[in-house]
Amino acid sequence: MQKYGVNELRRMFLEFFESKGHLAMKSFSLVPHNDKSLLLINSGMAPLKPYFTGQEIPPCKRVTTCQKCIRTGDIENVGKTARHGTFFEMLGNFSFGDYFKKESIAWTWEFLTEVVGLDPDRLYPSVYLEDDEAWEIWNKDIGIPAERIFRFGKEDNFWEHGSGPCGPCSEVYYDRGEAYGCGKPDCTVGCDCDRYMEIWNNVFTQFDNDGNNNYTELEQKNIDTGMGLERLACIVQDVDSMFDVDTIKELREHVSRLADAEYGKEYDTDVSIRVITDHIRSVTFMISDGIMPSNEGRGYVLRRLLRRACRHGRLLAIQGKFLTKL
C-alpha cells in the first residue's frame, strides 16, 4: 500500500467527493454558530445542522469538508494511551435531501479500496441492528459476504451528539492484524482492543432529537459521514498511533527536542510528550478561532488545555515559556 501523508489524504478525499458532484467547503470555525448545545465543534456535521433540518438552504445539496474538531470527553486518557487525542480533523461527505444509503456506501467502498488502496479483505462493515436496507447494500451491491457484515445495537450504530439531526449508522472497521489484538478467542469486530479499528462512519440522518430524546422524523433524508483523518493516516502509514503519523510526529519530535528527552523509552516521559503534542494542536486552533482563556465555557476548556500542557512541560523539566515555540 502506498504511504500517503496526512496532507495528501486530505486532498485525495476532497477531490474524490468533488468528482462526485460535491462542493468542497473550508473547515468551519471551532466556535459553534447559533448552537447552544455545543461548546466546541466536535464533528463534521455539527456546523451543518441547519442544512440537515431544512432550516437553511445549503450552497449545494452535496458538500464535502475536512473539519477541525475538538473532543475533550476523554481528556484524562490523552497521553496515557496511544489513541486518545483532543484535536482531530474529520473528513466528511454530506447529502442534504439528495443521495442516500446506496450512493454513500458505494463511495465509501470506492474511496477506501480504489483511491486509497486498502485491502478489501481487511475491511468489515457494520450496520444498525434493524437496518436491513444497509445490510443488503453491503451484501448485494458491494459483494461483502454475509458473515463479514456485523449488526450492532444503538450504542454502536446510532449516531447522535447533543440535540439535532441523528440516525442509524453503518461503520467500516479495518483489521490491523493479530499483532494489535488482545489475543482473546472471541476477539472480533467490535472488540475494545486495537485490532479492529473503526475508520468511517456513515450516518443516515433521518431524525431530529429535541435534546430530551424526543425524536421526530426529518422531512428530508440526509447523509452525514465522518472519517478521522489522523486515524486513516495511521492505517495508511502503518504506524501504531496518531502520534506517529507524518505531520504529528514532526510536532512530537519538536517537543522531544525542547525537552531533550527521547520518545519511546520511558512511559511517563512519553505521556508528557504526547499530552503536549496533542494539546498544542487544540490550543493553537482554538486561539486562532478567537477563543480566549477564561473561567467558564469554551474559554475554560482552553485554559485547562493550556495548564495541562504547561504542567507536562514542567514534568519534562523544560525551562521557561515553551508552548509558543511549538
Contacting positions for ligand SER (CB under 6 A): 43-45, 92, 159, 201, 203, 224-226
Closest approach of Cβ 189 to ligand SER, in Å? 17
Closest approach of Cβ 205 to ligand SER, in Å? 8
* Spatial separation of the C-alpha atoms in residues 236 and 2, rounded to whole Å: 7
The answer for residues whose C-beta is within 8 angstroms of residue 165's C-beta and 6 or more apart is 45, 49, 52, 53, 205, 207, 208, 209, 218, 222, 224
Closest approach of Cβ 94 to ligand SER, in Å? 8
* Spatial separation of the C-alpha atoms in residues 121 and 144, rounded to whole Å: 9
What is the amino acid identity at position 210? D
Q: Are 15 and 23 in contact (CB under 8 A)?
A: no
Considering beta carbons, is residue 89 or 270 the nearer one to ligand SER? 89
Closest approach of Cβ 236 to ligand SER, in Å? 19
Closest approach of Cβ 252 to ligand SER, in Å? 25
DSSP 229-248: HHHHHHHHTT-SSGGGSHHH
The answer for residues whose C-beta is within 8 angstroms of residue 164's C-beta and 6 or more apart is 35, 37, 49, 52, 53, 208, 209
Considering beta carbons, is residue 89 or 224 the nearer one to ligand SER? 224
Considering beta carbons, is residue 79 or 92 the nearer one to ligand SER? 92
Could you give the C-alpha distances from 254 to 71, 73, 210, 262, in angstroms and in order?
Answer: 24, 26, 45, 11
Considering beta carbons, is residue 103 or 246 the nearer one to ligand SER? 103
Closest approach of Cβ 53 to ligand SER, in Å? 15
Considering beta carbons, is residue 45 or 116 the nearer one to ligand SER? 45
* Spatial separation of the C-alpha atoms in residues 168 and 202, rounded to whole Å: 9
Residue 43: DSSP 8-state: S
Angle of CA points 307, 91, 9, to nearest 5°: 100
Closest approach of Cβ 165 to ligand SER, in Å? 9
Residue of minimal Cβ distance to ligand SER: 226
Cell matching residue 138: 453491503
Considering beta carbons, is residue 107 or 159 the nearer one to ligand SER? 159
Closest approach of Cβ 50 to ligand SER, in Å? 15
Q: Is 211 exposed, middle or buried (0-12, 13-18, 19+ CB in 10 A)?
A: exposed
Considering beta carbons, is residue 87 or 159 the nearer one to ligand SER? 159
* Spatial separation of the C-alpha atoms in residues 101 and 139, rounded to whole Å: 13
Considering beta carbons, is residue 94 or 322 the nearer one to ligand SER? 94
